[in-house]
Amino acid sequence: MKIALVGIGKIALDQHVPALAASPDWKLAATVSRNGSVPGVESFANLADMLAARPDIAAVSLCLPPVPRFEAAQAVLRAGRHLMLEKPPGATLAEVHHLADLARAQGVTIFATWHSRMAHGVAAAKAWLAGRSIRAGRITWREDVRKWHPGQDWIFEAGGMGVFDPGINALSILTEILPDPLRLTEAELDFPANRQAPIAARLGFAGGISADFDFRQQGPQTWDMEFSTDGGDLALRMGGNRLEIGGAHREGSDDIMGEYPALYARMAGLVREGRSDVDLSPMVLVADAFTLGRRNTVADFDFQRMG
């Protein structure tokens, strides 16, 4: 099946292009980008031109940041093409509900992806936790925004979600593996004085689960979750890729390159089966954190300056 990629930026080039090149299901047939391109692939400067010129392309994968994504997503669905969305699936919950309704009306597939759910240890962690009672959980998601999102000012603009851009990956794993629904009970968000989105957040959930998200991490980067249960301890490290039970390595590795091939395989399966997959539960928790959270003002943040 032919697919087009829209927004040839960091994640498109790091993950989507290699995953599509190795995919038995998909052929990357076009790109849409104001600046980027992929060698050997027809490129368009705007989406409407691509949709008009290439009716043979059945699916479109959007790698844009969340705020500009809705208009593009709507155009794809109105043109009767299947749609795959990077995480988070939109800037607001209502716009994603609207897209899901539109896909249903058009009879096409919509897949709101959560790449971290495809990490190597996630399915086994979910199976191990099923039927166990969780006593406490601690999520630590601390990374250096300058290293992973260099110069991406959109991430600190309204709708960019700030530290919840990576933090929602942790929430996508949590909402997948925990036996019971998560309920946010408290949140504290740190906003740089010169920005519209938080650089750090601390969350509390019912049942003794807490999360610490921080974009200011220097040195070792941490994407860990640790649970104590009535049947022992479980840890997921490396963003869900490495599973430990009782402190011993059980499954997975530090390799994160399997996530996007698994997303494209799932997209192919959804299209073949005529189904969609839109789970907004991670985004609901982010919205709840913005609704319920206390706000602190912290030092200005500038991508160019350390500190």
Applying CB under 6 A, which residues contact ligand NAP? 7-12, 33-36, 63-66, 68, 86-87, 115, 148-149, 152, 154, 165
Q: Which residues pair with 84 in a beta bridge?
A: 61, 111
Active-site residue (options: 2, 10, 27, 87): 87
- Closest distance to ligand NAP from the beta carbon of 62 (Å): 8
As to burial, measured by CB atoms within 10 angstroms (0-12 exposed, 13-18 middle, 19+ buried), residue 186 is: middle
H or E element, residue 176? helix 164-177
- Closest distance to ligand NAP from the beta carbon of 265 (Å): 17
- Among residues 245 and 278, whose Cβ is nearest to ligand NAP? 278
87 is catalytic: yes
- Closest distance to ligand NAP from the beta carbon of 236 (Å): 17
- Among residues 162 and 293, whose Cβ is nearest to ligand NAP? 162
Work out the number of other CB atoms within 10 angstroms of the CB of residue 140: 17
| CA nearest to 49, candidates 12, 4, 98 | 4
- Among residues 12 and 57, whose Cβ is nearest to ligand NAP? 12
What does the DSSP assignment read for 12-44? IIIIIHHHHHT-SS-EEEEEE-SS---TTSEEE
Token couple for 297 = 């003002």
- Closest distance to ligand NAP from the beta carbon of 111 (Å): 14
- Among residues 33 and 109, whose Cβ is nearest to ligand NAP? 33
Q: Which residue is nearest to ligand NAP (CB)?
A: 9
- Closest distance to ligand NAP from the beta carbon of 156 (Å): 12
Q: Which residues pair with 242 in a beta bridge?
A: 237, 252
Q: Are 252 and 266 in contact (CB under 8 A)?
A: no
What is the rounded CA–CA span in Å between residue 276 and residue 20?
Answer: 20
Phi–psi pair at 306, nearest 5 degrees? -80, 150
**Which residues, at least 6 apart from 73, have a Cβ–Cβ distance to it below 8 Å?**
62, 83, 85, 90, 99
Residues belonging to the active site: 87
